[in-house]
Every structure is written in C-alpha cells, then in structure tokens.
Amino acid sequence: MTSVWGMARASSVALLGVDAMIVEIEVWTGSGLPRTTMVGLPDAALAQAKERCRAAVLSSGFSWPSQVLTINLTPASLPKTGSHYDLGITAAVLATESIIPVGALDEVIMLGEVGLDGAVHPVRGVLPALLGARQLGITKAIVPASQLSEAELVSDMSVRGVRNLLELIVVLRGGQGSDALPNPAPVVLDPQAPDLKDVIGLASARWALEVAAAGRHHLYFHGPPGVGKTLLASCLPSILPDLSQDEALEVAAIHSLVDISIPALPTRPSFSAPHHSASLASLIGGGARIARPGAISLAHRGVLFLDEAPEFPSPALEALRTPLESGEIVLGRSEIAVRYPARFQLVLAANPCPCGLASTPSSKCTCTPMAIRRYAGRLSGPILDRIDLKAQILPLRRSLVGFDPLEPESSQSVAERVQLARNRQAARLQDTPWLTNAEVPGRYLRKELPLPGGMELLERAQTSGGLSARGLDKVLKIAWTIADLAGVGRPQRDHLAVALGLRQGEECIG
C-alpha cells in the first residue's frame, strides 16, 4: 500500500513584548484514521484553533482532510499564545487540499482569528507584528479587513485585508481582497482636555511644570489635597510637543497589544494615571505565559501620573527604578522574558500626611508624628533621587481667589515656549543619541558641555549633604533647560540657583 501525503507551509508572527519572531506553520496530511494534532508549545486558546479552523473551513463549503493531520508550529521552543495563527493554519490546510496553490503562501505573513462561520476576526498586536516582520525582510501580509488601516501604518509593505475565508481564498488565488476601509477620521483635539488657562494662581508650580515639559524632567508635586496638583499634572501633555512619526509608531505598537484596533497613529503624548490600588501586573506589565504591557508601557513617550504616590505599594514604586533609568522594562516569566518600551515622564503627587491636612492654615490634622514620618518614608530615597524637580504647593489664600488681575496663560502659548526650548536642545545634542536635557548622562554634561556659572553653589549644597552625586547632575540638567527656555546659549549663575531650588523643592505659594 502506497502512502499518500501532502504538506503545506504558511507563516505568522509570535510577539515577545513588542519584538517579533516569524513562526512557520507546517501542515502535514497522511493516510490513517482521521485525527488532527497540534504540536509546538501552543497555549489553550491556540490549542482550540484546530476546532475553530475546521468548523470555519466546513461552513465555508470546503472539505477538511479526512486523514491524519498534523499542525506543527516552529520554532518549537518558542511559547505561542493567542488565536491569530488561525488564518495561517487554515490557509495551509486549504493548500494541502489544493484549494489554493501552495506557492501562494511563500513570504506572506498571515494574522487573524477565524470564527466558526468562516468570518475573519481582528486580533491584538497587528502593528508590532508587521513592524517586526518588515524588519525581518517580509513585505507581504494578510490581515483581518477591519484592521487594514492599522496594518497600512507600516510603510513598504503590501497588505491585503480579508473579511472571511472565501476572500482569503480569492486573494491567495491572485484576486482582490476587501478594499481598504475609508481613511480614519482626522484626529480632533479634545476641547475638554485639561488646559493651563483653567489653572488659577500657582505661578511657581506652573513654572515647574513648564521646566519639566521643556527638558522632559520627572516631577514631584507635594502639598495638601485640593491645591491643584492633579489638575496641573493633567495639563502636562497639553504643553508637550507632538510625537514624531517614529515615536507614534512605538506608542501605537504597544497599544495594539491591549486595544484590539488602532485606527490611526497617535499624534499627542498620552496621560496615564493608574490608581494606587492597581495590581503590580497592571502597573508594570505581567500575566500568564507571555507578559502583557502595563500602565508604564502604555505611558511610553507620554506622562505617567501617580497621585497619592506614598499609597502605592513599595514593590510597585521600586519596580519603576529600572525603567526610569533604561526606558524599558523586561518582564521575566517562567517560559520567556519579554521587553516593553517604558520611556515615560513621571509625575508624582503626595499629600503632606495620611489625612492630607497637615500644613493647611487651619490645620485639623490628626495624624501622629510617627504616622507622618512613616508616610513620607514610603517614597524611598532611590525613587526620589531619580525625580528631577520637586515643587511644594501651598494652598491659595482664599482672599486671592477670583481676584487674579491676569487671565491665566493658555497651554498653547506655554507649549510654544516648550517647543522652542526643545529645538535648542535638539540642535545642541544633534551629534548625540539624546534629544532632551533629562536624557543626557552626567558625564557628558560635566565633560563635553560648558559648565554653568556659579558652580560653587552646588559644591556648597553637596558639602552640606543636601545634594547627592545624581542630584548634582540633575541640577545641571535643569539649569540647561532653564537656559533653553530663556533662549541663552549657556546657563548663568541665576539659572543654576533657580535649578537648585527646583531640585530641592522650594515652596511654591499660589
């Protein structure tokens, strides 16, 4: 008895964080009792793929091999998760049945989940998968039709969208797929977004916010509840420059792993404010098998705001240390470690004590000195040392509310100054890998750039124990940002003095 067998091969992508690897889907059919097996480290959702694919093929009017059918995903050692391999599995099975030509599957990436009725459903991670595949030299992809506009954000790639298996067959036989969906609506800036024109008073704290925006410095607001810490923090994105094309792709790639569909590239930095009761996994990323991105990665190139920061569990705060230094987080899991970008701008806010009322004029604080010390101590030295600017906000005197003779400046006009200061930084740092003052390593600041006037101020602060080595570098960075905002070529003694005050958290009275 001669054995009759067939084989076909399709390609898809495994995502480890935002890093992509090509997965080959091999389908083999041979004589024997009908049986379908899947090998190559599938997870539960993927193990069910054979049932979904079989139902989809049958309900689309085609036959499923009535023999032994083996589906192998390689490399076998790589854990595979999710339902996006369905489309490639189905295509390879249809090729063994000669419904589509085997050669049509060469060099094309397929992503999509199939429904029992043969419909092709959207999946997470289309954008990072295609960005990664493109880097690996792949130039053709087939994706769910509803995600065609997301897939087309990847340049130099020919992408086809399919709504169901019949369209998949048509496309792989050389016909047309679904037309591109109409272009997504242009991004409209949210008129309700927080704006500095709604912030009354708080001149010094507004200034700290502007300096933070200009140099991309991390910021810490300290003061009683109700003084406007949260409102000010939420205004920070409104004065930051637009995202560049590359930054927007990075951000969209991360979001596409969480939101199922990315209709357009983001143009503005995001604002993420996780609550202190959020789990560690939702804050820094995690989950079973291949870890998913957390709030710190969703805030990549945007603002991460931790209100009532001392209330966050210390493992959560400590977990911020590495991404604050490196701009990324590596999440180790039992099976594999994944990496996500996490270059966020951190804004912390804290009350002076657990009840929040210490330091208000008519202090009704009932906290014990012990409780206040313990509360303050929850923000550890290493975290505070990585914060560039500290601003203490005291309550606005009631008599002044409503009597401010000047209309508060709007976010738009502050944003223009921030952009000019960023341009000066970009010009100064054009031969370096850095774009903003906050990123520049201390060594470069001290050796390659002219030192500001008034360095003895820093020596004095260091000798008196009020300034760490990292703190000294931070003051230099802030001084450069202040000089950039002032439009001068080199920080002066005054700039350094102001920078030292901002670093050490002088009082900002409304």
Binding positions for Zn ion, rule: CB under 5 A: 353, 355, 357-358, 365, 367
Residues 6+ apart with CB under 8 A from 433: none
DSSP secondary structure, 308-349, as one string: TGGGS-HHHHHTTHHHHHHSEEEE--SS--EEEE--PEEEEE
The terminus-to-terminus CA distance of the chain in angstroms comes to: 92
Q: Which residues pair with 22 in a beta bridge?
A: 13
Is-contact 290 325, C-beta < 8 A? no
Least Cβ distance, residue 316 to Zn ion (angstroms)? 23
Question: CA 183: distance to chain centroid?
Answer: 24
Task: Give the nearer residue to Zn ion in terms of CB position, either 55 or 367.
Answer: 367
Gap between the Cα atoms of 111 and 439, Å rounded: 37
Task: Give the nearer residue to Zn ion in terms of CB position, either 244 or 366.
Answer: 366
Q: Which amino acid is at 31?
A: S
Task: Give the nearer residue to Zn ion in terms of CB position, either 28 or 375.
Answer: 375
Least Cβ distance, residue 274 to Zn ion (angstroms)? 24
Task: Give the nearer residue to Zn ion in terms of CB position, either 248 or 353.
Answer: 353
Least Cβ distance, residue 374 to Zn ion (angstroms)? 12
Task: Give the nearer residue to Zn ion in terms of CB position, either 231 or 365.
Answer: 365
Structure tokens at 235: 């205004």
Angle between helices 455-463 and 493-504 (to 10 degrees): 30
Task: Give the nearer residue to Zn ion in terms of CB position, either 63 or 363.
Answer: 363
In this structure, how many other beta carbons lie within 10 angstroms of the beta carbon of residue 107? 10
Least Cβ distance, residue 306 to Zn ion (angstroms)? 20
Is-contact 268 237, C-beta < 8 A? yes
Least Cβ distance, residue 392 to Zn ion (angstroms)? 16
Task: Give the nearer residue to Zn ion in terms of CB position, either 371 or 435.
Answer: 371
DSSP secondary structure, 405-439, as one string: SSPPPPHHHHHHHHHHHHHHHHHHTTTSS--SGGG
Least Cβ distance, residue 308 to Zn ion (angstroms)? 13
Least Cβ distance, residue 356 to Zn ion (angstroms)? 6
Q: 4 in helix, strand or coil? A: coil
Task: Give the nearer residue to Zn ion in terms of CB position, either 69 or 353.
Answer: 353
Is-contact 300 342, C-beta < 8 A? yes
Least Cβ distance, residue 363 to Zn ion (angstroms)? 8
Is-contact 298 258, C-beta < 8 A? yes
Least Cβ distance, residue 480 to Zn ion (angstroms)? 38
Task: Give the nearer residue to Zn ion in terms of CB position, either 355 or 451.
Answer: 355
